[in-house]
Amino acid sequence: MPKDRWFALCEKAGLGGRAGWDALSSAYGDPGRAYHNLNHIGDCLLRFDEHARLAADPVAVEFAIWFHDIVYDTRAADNEERSAVTAAEFLSTTTLGPEVAELIRATKHDSTPPTRDAALLCDIDLSILGREPNEYDAYSRAVRQEYAWVPFLQYAAARIRVLEGFLRRPAIFVLAELEDQFGKQAKVNLGREIDSLANPEPAFPGQPHLERQ
């Protein structure tokens, strides 16, 4: 489905999709990507299908879904910017490049999305937060795997800050429709993960915890 869908999208924009598909499949197929891979893109596309009527420019939003994690380096702080630039370069022969790049920049999730389409993209990207507990737990384990190079206590402190930031929002999701669908469960899931990170089980019964993978 993702491959056929990619070529159909490129056709809408008057583009050939082969080079783009090769770049996307190579990036998202990196074995170090336990979560930020083509499964994540496919899931985002499914969520987009559920809410596409909310988009002002659905073609731009869909291109942004495809490109928003094409650059993903857990040791870098500029992944969104580099992903945005990559998307703009691919779309440079169309009028979509600047718009798609700005949508991707919003997925840094560090400020209120500037447009409704940016809000939709960000909410779709974060929709995993509001899934059933087993699905959320698989996601949190996969993210930890991507950051396996970070010692547990350091990872836990940074991860808790991120999760608490979501909980401090007036609503976790920007658009009311997605907040209604995912918001309540997201708060439960975030609270569970924070508790798990703050109170890890000891490596051995009766012994203080030193490290947890």
Q: What CATH number has the domain bearing residue 39?
A: 1.10.1300.10
Which two tokens mark 172?
């976790």
79 domain-assigned:
yes
Please give the pLDDT value at position 209.
Answer: 43
113 domain-assigned:
yes
211 domain-assigned:
no
100 domain-assigned:
yes
Tell me the pLDDT tens digit for each residue of 163-199. Answer: 999 999 999 999 999 999 999 999 999 999 999 999 9
Tell me the pLDDT tens digit for each residue of 34-69. Answer: 999 999 999 999 999 999 999 999 999 999 999 999
43 domain-assigned:
yes
pTM, rounded to two decimals = 0.93
From the list 115, 109, 20, the residue with the least C-alpha distance to 63 is 20
Structural domain count of the chain: 1
DSSP 120-153: HHHHHHHGGGGS-HHHHHHHHHHHHHHTTTS-HH
84 domain-assigned:
yes
